[in-house]
């Protein structure tokens, strides 16, 4: 019998790049297929072709043995192909059932049939062990549950093949295990799954087969039982990747930032940061571990001067900063890699050059008396693109045309250049492939060695454990514990992040 999906000889060109080159991919029912590859290798492009967002320049697609030309996402859905977007497409103020009913085509007024929709949602939820209540409001659900609602939407529309492009960036480890289980259940019920993730552990845990892409072409397809992380990394990057970093011990210097009793209330009066105190010295990395949404973003924004704290003091480089602004933060030599690159990191419609200059556009030699200097800027940007290995046909390309990981690389390049004194790195490796991740770790350690202070905010415990000099665990806007990395491991951190009370020592 023919496999459910067969893509043959798929080639897709963009101006200056071949995103997919003669790619063959077969995915059968009951199978979870991992897609792996460096940033810009063409994974997203391949699944967008499958979902009707791009049309291949060459090649054929067969569904259940029948050749098809996928015209649009609508058409893809009709063919039984569903995609879970990284940014959820849900209306928070509506119930699960209403969200599922939204956009259904079969009836003019989907809401008149809500009870029927709810019944079917409950049924599907039970069959696949999704544990979603159709009457819950979406805004009350955790990120992991919202993702399941997305999956339910696809199942409701009769998806036979589910595509997930980097679905795990925002999940907690617990949520990830549940997602892996869900994917397995789906496969056991005869669905096909395509799963894109840079995290090799996840690929090994969830996928049956893993197809590795490099420069748009398939390097090979391996069974995940036969390989380990190092093998996958080598296939992807073409060389050995050192996944653990060597952090030499350095004597800390002067305090760069001292924060005491920081408190922040949101507009609606909730306490988002509560009595946060810490200091970071030269040559120190303070890791902040926590589940997404426990006040990390607010902490970062207060220190970067975007919000004024409700109370508490901040001292930067030994000077009291009663009203810290982004301008002052920059003047002190601050740099920030924001957690949500699309919101506050890049302007998708501007060129790479414009995006790379955001931090430095005011200063010599890039500007003189308010007039920008074209050639120093060009040289600087070309240098950054080369050094940070941003895969792009040129610096005048629009940011939107870069792959997700390459957008992240540009942000990292911009913020790490020019030797900042204080670096806030929030999820600095989100969306990066292992090679780039290794590179960023090295650069963070270089920064530390040079005497810079770093506030590293991450949901990746590995990252926190291997880079930090001290680890703060944040729960509900409070630092529940600051500990030494030698006293910490995955498990204690996980428990602390989950809100467990553990006696120190």
Partner 1 sequence: MSNRFKRAIASLGVSVFALVLALGFSMLIVALTGNDAGEAARAMWDGAFGNRAQIAGTLSKMIPLLLVALGWIVAYRAKRVNIGFEGQILAGGICATAMGLHFAGMPILIHLPLAVLAGVAGGAMWAGIAAWLWARRGVNEIISTLLLNFIAIEIVSWLVRGPLQESTKTFPRSGPIAESARWPSLLDKTSLSWDFVLAIVMVFVVAFVLNRTTFGYRLRFTGANEPAARHAGIATKTVTAIALIVSGALAGLAGELVDPRRRVHEHVRQLLGQLRLRGHRGRLVGPEQPDRVHPLGAALRLPASRRRPHGGPCRGAVGRRPHHPGTRHRLRRGSNVPARPPRE
Ligand X SMILES: Nc1ncnc2c1ncn2[C@@H]1O[C@H](COP(=O)(O)OP(=O)(O)OP(=O)(O)O)[C@@H](O)[C@H]1O
Pick from partner 1, Mg ion, ligand X, none: which does 327 bind, CB < 5 to 8 A by kind? partner 1
User: Which residue from 75, 263, 342, 391 is in contact with ligand X, where contact means CB under 6 A?
Assistant: 391
Q: How many residues does the chain have?
A: 505
Pick from ligand X, Mg ion, partner 1, none: which does 42 bind, CB < 5 to 8 A by kind? ligand X
Query: Measured from the CB atom, is 290 or 404 closer to ligand X?
Result: 404
Stretch that binds ligand X, among 11-19, 109-117, 254-262, 328-336 (CB under 6 A): 11-19
Pick from ligand X, Mg ion, partner 1, none: which does 372 bind, CB < 5 to 8 A by kind? partner 1
**29-68 binders of ligand X (CB under 6 A):** 37, 39-45
Query: Measured from the CB atom, is 53 or 373 closer to ligand X?
Result: 53
- Per 3-state DSSP, the chain is made up of helix, strand and coil in percentages (nearest 5) of 35, 25, 40
CB-CB contact of 413 with 387 (8 Å): yes
Which whole-number Å values give the CA distances from 204 to 12, 34, 162, in the listed order? 28, 9, 19
Pick from partner 1, ligand X, Mg ion, none: which does 41 bind, CB < 5 to 8 A by kind? ligand X
User: Which residue from 151, 316, 336, 436 is in contact with partner 1, where contact means CB under 8 A?
Assistant: 336
Taking the complex as a whole, the smallest distance from the CB of residue 337 to partner 1 amounts, in Å, to 11
Give 488's DSSP letter: -
Among residues 324, 345, 325, the alpha carbon closest in space to that of 336 is found at 345
Number of residue whose CB is nearest ligand X: 405
Taking the complex as a whole, the smallest distance from the CB of residue 164 to ligand X amounts, in Å, to 13
Query: Measured from the CB atom, is 158 or 326 closer to partner 1?
Result: 326
Query: Measured from the CB atom, is 14 or 278 closer to ligand X?
Result: 14
Sheet containing 81-84: order of strands: 81-84, 161-165, 192-196, 32-37, 209-214, 217-223
Taking the complex as a whole, the smallest distance from the CB of residue 410 to Mg ion amounts, in Å, to 14
Stretch that binds partner 1, among 122-130, 139-147, 302-310, 480-488 (CB under 8 A): 302-310
Q: Could you give the CA distance from residue 260 to residue 264 in angstroms, rounded to a whole number? A: 12
Query: Measured from the CB atom, is 110 or 404 closer to Mg ion?
Result: 404
User: Which residue from 3, 14, 137, 243 is in contact with ligand X, where contact means CB under 6 A?
Assistant: 14
Contact call for residue 329 and partner 1 (CB under 8 A):
yes
Q: What is the DSSP string of 349-388?
A: TSBHHHHHTTTTTTSTTTEETTEE-HHHHHHHHHHHHHHT
Stretch that binds partner 1, among 137-145, 172-180, 360-368, 440-448 (CB under 8 A): 360-368
Stretch that binds partner 1, among 37-45, 86-94, 154-162, 357-365 (CB under 8 A): 357-365
Q: Could you give the CA distance from residue 288 to residue 471 in angstroms, rounded to a whole number? A: 6
Q: Could you give the CA distance from residue 82 to residue 366 in angstroms, rounded to a whole number? A: 47
**13-72 binders of partner 1 (CB under 8 A):** 15
Taking the complex as a whole, the smallest distance from the CB of residue 341 to ligand X amounts, in Å, to 11
Contact call for residue 406 and ligand X (CB under 6 A):
yes
Interacting residues of 344 by C-beta distance below 8 A, sequence separation 6+:
338
Stretch that binds partner 1, among 113-121, 215-223, 234-242, 321-329 (CB under 8 A): 321-329
- # residues contacting ligand X (CB under 6 A): 19
Contact call for residue 260 and partner 1 (CB under 8 A):
no
Taking the complex as a whole, the smallest distance from the CB of residue 57 to partner 1 amounts, in Å, to 19
Q: Could you give the CA distance from residue 352 to residue 120 in angstroms, rounded to a whole number? A: 47
Taking the complex as a whole, the smallest distance from the CB of residue 34 to ligand X amounts, in Å, to 13
CB-CB contact of 451 with 254 (8 Å): no
Query: Measured from the CB atom, is 241 or 457 closer to partner 1?
Result: 457
Q: What is the DSSP string of 379-415?
A: HHHHHHHHHTT---S-TTSBGGGS-HHHHHHHHHHHH
Interface contacts to Mg ion, rule CB under 5 A? 44, 403-404
CB-CB contact of 455 with 289 (8 Å): no
Taking the complex as a whole, the smallest distance from the CB of residue 90 to partner 1 amounts, in Å, to 22
Tokens 């259904």 found at = 104
Angle at 443 between CA 440 and CA 447, to 5 degrees: 140
Contact call for residue 403 and ligand X (CB under 6 A):
yes
Dig out the tokens for 336 from the structure: 């920030």
Query: Measured from the CB atom, is 357 or 416 closer to partner 1?
Result: 357
Dig out the tokens for 168 from the structure: 């795990």
- # residues contacting partner 1 (CB under 8 A): 34
Q: How many CB atoms lie within 10 A of CB 10?
A: 25
User: Which stretches of 96-201 are assigned E, i.e. beta strand?
Assistant: 161-165, 192-196
Helix (H) / strand (E) element for 454: namely strand 453-458
Interacting residues of 121 by C-beta distance below 8 A, sequence separation 6+:
96, 97, 100, 132, 134, 152, 156
- Residues in touch with partner 1 (CB under 8 A): 15, 301, 304-306, 325-327, 329-330, 336, 338, 343-350, 354, 357-359, 361-362, 367, 370-372, 374, 394, 396-397
- Residues in touch with ligand X (CB under 6 A): 14, 17, 19, 37, 39-45, 391, 401-406, 433
């Amino acid at each position: 019998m023919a496999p459910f999906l067969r893509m043959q000889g798929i080639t897709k060109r963009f101006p200056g790049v071949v995103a997919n080159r003669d790619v063959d991919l077969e995915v059968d029912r009951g199978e979870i297929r991992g897609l792996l590859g460096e940033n810009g290798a063409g994974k997203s492009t391949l699944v967008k072709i499958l979902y009707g967002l791009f049309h291949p320049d060459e090649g054929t697609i067969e569904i259940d043995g029948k050749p098809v030309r996928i015209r649009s996402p609508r058409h893809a859905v009709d063919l039984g192909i569903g995609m879970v977007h990284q940014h959820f497409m849900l209306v928070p103020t509506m119930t699960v059932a209403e969200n599922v009913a939204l956009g259904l085509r079969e009836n003019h007024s989907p809401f008149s049939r809500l009870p029927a929709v709810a019944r079917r949602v409950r049924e599907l939820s039970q069959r696949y062990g999704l544990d979603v209540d159709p009457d819950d409001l979406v805004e009350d659900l955790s990120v992991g549950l919202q993702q399941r609602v997305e999956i339910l939407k696809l199942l409701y529309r009769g998806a036979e093949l589910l595509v997930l492009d980097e679905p795990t960036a925002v999940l907690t480890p617990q949520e990830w295990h549940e997602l892996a289980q869900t994917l397995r259940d789906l496969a056991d019920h005869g669905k096909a799954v395509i799963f894109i993730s840079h995290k090799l552990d996840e690929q090994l845990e969830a996928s049956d087969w893993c197809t590795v892409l490099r420069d748009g072409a398939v390097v090979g397809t391996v069974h995940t039982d036969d390989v380990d992380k190092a093998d996958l990394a080598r296939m992807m990057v073409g060389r050995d990747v050192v996944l653990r970093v060597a952090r030499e011990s350095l004597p800390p210097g002067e305090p760069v930032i001292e924060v005491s009793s920081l408190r922040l209330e949101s507009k609606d009066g909730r306490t988002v940061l509560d009595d946060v105190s810490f200091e970071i010295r030269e040559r120190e990395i303070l890791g902040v571990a926590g589940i997404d949404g426990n006040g990390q973003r607010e902490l970062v924004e207060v220190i970067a001067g975007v919000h004024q704290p409700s109370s508490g003091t901040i001292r930067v480089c030994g000077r009291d900063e009663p009203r810290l602004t982004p301008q002052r933060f920059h003047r002190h030599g601050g740099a920030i890699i924001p957690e949500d690159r699309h919101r506050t990191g890049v302007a998708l419609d501007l060129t790479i050059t414009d995006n790379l200059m955001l931090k430095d556009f005011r200063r010599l030699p890039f500007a003189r008396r308010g007039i920008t200097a074209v050639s120093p800027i060009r040289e600087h940007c070309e240098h950054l693109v080369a050094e940070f290995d941003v895969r792009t046909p040129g610096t005048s390309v629009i940011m939107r045309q870069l792959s997700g990981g390459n957008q992240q690389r540009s942000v990292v390049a911009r913020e790490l250049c020019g030797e900042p004194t204080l670096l806030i790195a929030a999820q600095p490796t989100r969306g990066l492939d292992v090679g780039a991740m290794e590179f960023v770790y090295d650069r963070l350690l270089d920064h530390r060695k040079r005497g810079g202070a770093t506030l590293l905010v991450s949901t990746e415990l590995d990252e926190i454990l291997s880079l930090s000099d001290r680890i703060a665990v944040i729960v509900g806007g409070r630092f529940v514990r600051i500990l030494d990395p030698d006293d910490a491991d995955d498990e204690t951190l996980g428990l602390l992040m989950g809100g467990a009370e553990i006696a120190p020592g």
